[in-house]
Homo-oligomer: A and B are copies of this chain.
């Protein structure tokens, strides 16, 4: 039943694998012959329970997550995590360390400041977030000499197109990472993190569910006065079913996880992503028209940002790309330019089509 599909380069909500979309469509009204959709099933029933357990298990398997960690499906997006992280992980009002590598890290810092002492150990703001300094140069000392509560990073900066290719190594400090735009796009060693979280709407599924992976001992630090819904321990104790979870979004994440397994796992996905990104960056570097916006060493494999000589040409580029079945290429409203978001589900043919179009556009201009 394959339908006409465009190449969707939106930064999120983003393209999902066509075969995942078609499977969900097929069983939308009548899931596994039950006579109702999975969306209509009770979250306490065995059908949804199976969906939830399998999704958690597949995340554990794909990312190599031990039982020291909880895997949760929450609501509110990464933006709510910006507050939940300090509420839960910094009950004693120690200093929380932040690396400011772009808008999303900045927003996280703003929320943390409402709740306790923070220190920014690195800021890329001065150079418009076009690079990330090596963590060896970061100033990690706290004002009163106390152990910091945690170190917070945003692993991939969707808006600016930068990415950590090597994570900070401070073994004594719990590392917290917002991986909203690159979770499951590459192999990571989860044991180096205290906590990882990600809104699903880029690499994992639709908007409306946030995956949280947290070391259980860190979650236990939370104080008694934190609202029940905002405590990780609540959701750990109830297996993400303290209240009604976003069942259909979790089901979609489950289908995407099965798809990732069919690709061969994260090593294969990482290789495919590296190949797609290399094609695009090479097209940029070998052109006289396009200009990458960030330092080569920290270019993102997920969000490829570039400029044309002027805004009129950028508008024309976007217009013609859309006419050629490639949508969502406009850069974030705060920075302009072009951004091609090439998450896991973007097929290599989509990137090939974009590279070809870029060549043609340059020849004609």
Interface residues of A (CB under 8 A from B): 3-6, 8, 10-16, 18, 21-22, 24-25, 28-30, 33-37, 39-45, 75-80, 82-83, 107, 110-111, 114-115, 199, 201, 206-209, 225-230, 242-249, 252, 325, 327-328, 333
Once bound together, how far apart are the Cα atoms of A327 and B206, in whole Å? 28
Known: A83-B230, A207-B245, A207-B246. 10 other contacts (CB 8 A): A5-B29, A6-B35, A8-B35, A13-B42, A14-B40, A21-B37, A82-B228, A83-B227, A208-B208, A248-B248
Check A111/B77 contact, CB under 8 A, given A6-B35, A11-B42, A247-B208: no
- Among A13, A34, A82, A229, the one with the most B-chain Cβ atoms within 10 Å of its Cβ is A13
Closest to A345 in B: B40
B8 engages A40 (CB within 8 Å): yes
Nearest CB to that of A80 among chain B residues?
B229
Name A22's closest neighbour in chain B (CB-CB): B29
Residue pair A114, B6 in contact (C-beta under 8 Å): no
Residue of A39, A78, A248 most packed against chain B (CB within 10 A)? A39
Contact between A16 and B34, CB atoms less than 8 A apart: no
Q: Which of A30, A226, A252 has the most CB of B within 10 A?
A: A30
Interface centre among A24, A34, A208 (most CB of B within 10 A): A208
